[in-house]
Amino acid sequence: QKEVEQDPGPLSVPEGAIVSLNCTYSNSAFQYFMWYRQYSRKGPELLMYTYSSGNKEDGRFTAQVDKSSKYISLFIRDSQPSDSATYLCAMKVGGGGNKLTFGTGTQLKVEL
């Protein structure tokens, strides 16, 4: 079993839809949770960073963490064609150390 599971998609939605992207994890030591957006053949761009359980909102993006269920989500409201990309979740254990563990990424396409 992988430490981080993420549905690879592809996920296709119409413009304006609410998108829900999810990751599950098995390592209860993960304390820091991030979402990255990666356009084709580009480096990932940090979108959201959370530490505690609960919701964090930034513009059209909301990150949700449920540590009891080992489940994190990224919601995108009013999705736009420019949101079409691969979204990667990433996690890190607490207490120091450098290693981020990534999900495989979910490919999202927002269609006109």
Partner 1 sequence: GAVVSQHPSRVICKSGTSVKIECRSLDFQATTMFWYRQFPKQSLMLMATSNEGSKATYEQGVEKDKFLINHASLTLSTLTVTSAHPEDSSFYICSARDPERGPEKLFFGSGTQLSVL
Residue 49 near residue 61 (C-beta atoms within 8 A): no
- CA–CA separation, 75 and 97 (whole Å): 29
Using CB under 8 A as the binding criterion, the count of chain residues that bind partner 1 stands at 23
Distance of CA 60 to the CA centre of its chain: 14
Find out whether 46 and 63 touch, Cβ atoms under 8 Å.
no
| Residue keyed to tokens 């909301």 | 62
Pick one of 84, 92, 108, 110: the residue that binds partner 1 (CB under 8 A).
Answer: 92
Which x/- pattern, by CB under 8 A, does the window 31-70 give for partner 1? Answer: -x-x-x----xxxxxx--x-x-------------------
Stretch that binds partner 1, among 18-26, 53-61, 71-79, 96-104 (CB under 8 A): 96-104
What angle (nearest 5°) sits at the alpha carbon of residue 74, between those of residues 73 and 77? 135
Contact between 108 and partner 1 by CB under 8 A: the answer reads no
Interface positions with partner 1 (CB under 8 A): 8, 32, 34, 36, 41-46, 49, 51, 88, 90, 92, 98-100, 102-105, 107
